[in-house]
């Protein structure tokens, strides 16, 4: 029996849309003293330190030999740890010798603290070093603070996207059709360079698409008048009037003077535009070389 086809056939390519980096949402945990006290009391390690501190008794090595490294870490800092308003705090001397009392952060609020240090609008997704500098000034301290900041920042999608922006779709390369020598020319400006004895600081480059001959002219400035003058006297008068002059979007080439010169000489002025297939960068390649 004939069965009606219900599923739609999808045709064509998927749109080339880069994956959006995810902003980590703000945690529901409010870092009030009550919450911190509560979280310390329910933390498997800190609650033991709390108990020892309330008893005023540091356990001896034999008693804790089978305990976790984490517990031993805090006990090794016994002299620097104290209770402030019922909250376990540690006097922390960083490498700048600016000691301060810091709250021993239970594991359950570590991510929330990191979010405040790195993800808020004012935190601005700073790098590992700067986020760690902020952590030093914050009221919190936890074991492996530097390491956990490093891992957090390295795993941040927003930071990752900034470092490696998704590839934008590029236009296919096309060959540029040329006719005769100096029929189509391209021009660009390089500099500023150290000033010469003749007070020149810039180089105007004019290249011929047909022969690939490229000429460079020294200039004192990059004003439209200077650029138009050189192109007219050094190139057009010598090699003939081109049909087309190609340039980037430099303001000299976009100036009324330059456009007027092109109009009078019936030159088609083209310019580099993003994703334009004819923006073949002949001159830019020469400048780099």
Q: Applying CB under 5 A, which residues contact Zn ion? A: 125, 156, 158-159
Nearer to Zn ion, 39 or 118 (CB): 118
Nearer to Zn ion, 46 or 135 (CB): 135
Structure-token pair, residue 219: 């200039």
Largest CA distance in the chain: 98
- For the bound state, the minimum distance from the C-beta of residue 131 to Zn ion, rounded and expressed in Å, comes to 9
- For the bound state, the minimum distance from the C-beta of residue 126 to Zn ion, rounded and expressed in Å, comes to 8
Strand-by-strand arrangement of the 202-208 sheet: 214-219, 202-208, 184-190, 244-247, 268-271
Rounded distance between C-alpha atoms, residue 114 and residue 111, angstroms: 5
Nearer to Zn ion, 142 or 152 (CB): 152
Nearer to Zn ion, 123 or 286 (CB): 123
- For the bound state, the minimum distance from the C-beta of residue 155 to Zn ion, rounded and expressed in Å, comes to 9
Nearer to Zn ion, 90 or 149 (CB): 149
Radius of gyration of the chain (CA): 34
Rounded distance between C-alpha atoms, residue 245 and residue 186, angstroms: 6
Rounded distance between C-alpha atoms, residue 213 and residue 134, angstroms: 57
- For the bound state, the minimum distance from the C-beta of residue 130 to Zn ion, rounded and expressed in Å, comes to 11
- For the bound state, the minimum distance from the C-beta of residue 165 to Zn ion, rounded and expressed in Å, comes to 14
Let me know: does 268 contact 241? Beta carbons within 8 Å: no
- For the bound state, the minimum distance from the C-beta of residue 156 to Zn ion, rounded and expressed in Å, comes to 3
- 67 φ, ψ to 5°? -80, 170
- For the bound state, the minimum distance from the C-beta of residue 237 to Zn ion, rounded and expressed in Å, comes to 57
Looking at the DSSP assignment, which residues form a beta bridge with residue 204?
189, 217
Looking at the DSSP assignment, which residues form a beta bridge with residue 271?
247
Question: How does strand 214-219 pair with strand 202-208?
Answer: antiparallel
Q: Which of 147, 138, 149, 153 is nearest to 73 (CA)?
A: 147
Nearer to Zn ion, 103 or 159 (CB): 159
Q: Which of 256, 252, 253, 246 is nearest to 276 (CA)?
A: 246
- 71 φ, ψ to 5°? -65, -45
Helix (H, G, I), strand (E, B) or coil at 11: coil
Nearer to Zn ion, 155 or 196 (CB): 155
């Amino acid at each position: 029996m004939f069965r009606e086809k219900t599923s739609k056939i999808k045709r064509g390519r998927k749109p080339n849309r880069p994956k959006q980096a995810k902003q980590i949402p703000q945690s529901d945990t409010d870092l009030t003293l009550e919450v911190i006290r509560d979280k310390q009391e329910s933390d498997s390690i800190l609650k033991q330190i709390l108990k020892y501190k309330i008893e005023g008794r540091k356990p001896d090595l034999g008693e804790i030999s089978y305990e976790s490294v984490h517990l031993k870490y805090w006990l090794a800092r016994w002299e620097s740890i104290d209770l402030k308003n019922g909250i376990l705090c540690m006097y922390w001397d960083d490498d700048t010798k600016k000691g301060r009392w810091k709250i021993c952060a239970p594991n359950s609020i570590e991510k929330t603290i990191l979010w405040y240090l790195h993800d808020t609008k004012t935190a601005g997704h700073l790098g590992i070093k700067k986020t760690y500098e902020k952590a030093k000034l914050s009221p919190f301290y936890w074991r492996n603070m530097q390491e956990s900041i490093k891992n957090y920042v390295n795993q941040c999608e927003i930071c990752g996207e900034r470092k490696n922006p998704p590839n934008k779709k590029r236009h296919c390369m096309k060959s540029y059709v040329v006719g005769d020598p100096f029929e189509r020319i391209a021009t660009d400006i390089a500099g500023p360079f150290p000033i010469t004895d003749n007070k020149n600081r810039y180089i105007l480059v004019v290249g011929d698409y047909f022969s690939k001959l490229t000429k460079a002219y020294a200039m004192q400035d990059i004003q439209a008048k200077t650029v138009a003058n050189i192109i007219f006297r050094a190139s057009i008068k010598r090699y003939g009037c081109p049909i087309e002059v190609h340039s980037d979007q430099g303001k000299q080439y976009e100036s009324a003077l330059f456009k007027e010169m092109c109009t009078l000489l019936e030159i088609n002025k083209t310019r580099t535009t993003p994703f334009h297939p004819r923006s073949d960068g002949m001159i830019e390649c020469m400048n780099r070389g």
